[in-house]
Amino acid sequence: AQKVTQAQTEISVVEKEDVTLDCVYETRDTTYYLFWYKQPPSGELVFLIRRNSFDEQNEISGRYSWNFQKSTSSFNFTITASQVVDSAVYFCALSEEALISSGSARQLTFGSGTQLTVLP
């Protein structure tokens, strides 16, 4: 069974600080996908990044960066120079193939989320 653990329930930082959100996953598949989503106070889910299990290259997008390490089954997310607008709940998710009654399908498993509060 797949599992995603976000051990940090809540994090609070002051604006301009760097912050890292941790994500640890468990899977038996060799082919899987990892995601990060942002859920601002308005409630919608905003897709941030997808990574497949064969691509361990770290990625940077503006102030966001992601560190994928298969050896430790982690996919951590760092926000550099945080801003008040970064305040949100952040979810890590894992997608792997799952057997179902009609064959197989990919299913998405979410972590419990990390509430990030950036104080001015």
Q: Looking at the DSSP assignment, which residues form a beta bridge with residue 46?
A: 38
- Read off the tokens for 24: 């640890």
Q: E strands, 22-102, where?
A: 24-26, 32-39, 46-52, 59-61, 64-69, 74-79, 88-100
Binds other proteins by CB under 8 A, chosen from 3, 12, 17, 50: 50
Instruction: Based on DSSP, count helices (H) and strands (E) in the chain, helices before strands.
Output: 0, 12
Q: Which is nearer to other proteins, 47 or 84 (CB)?
A: 47
Per CB under 8 A, does 43 bind other proteins? yes
CB of 63 or CB of 106, closer to other proteins: 106
Binding residue (CB under 8 A) for other proteins from 13, 22, 24, 33: 33
By CB under 8 A, tell whether 102 contacts other proteins: yes
Helix, strand or coil, per DSSP, at residue 118: strand
Positions that interact with other proteins (CB under 8 A): 4, 6, 9, 33, 35, 43-45, 47, 50, 52, 91, 93, 95, 100-103, 105-113
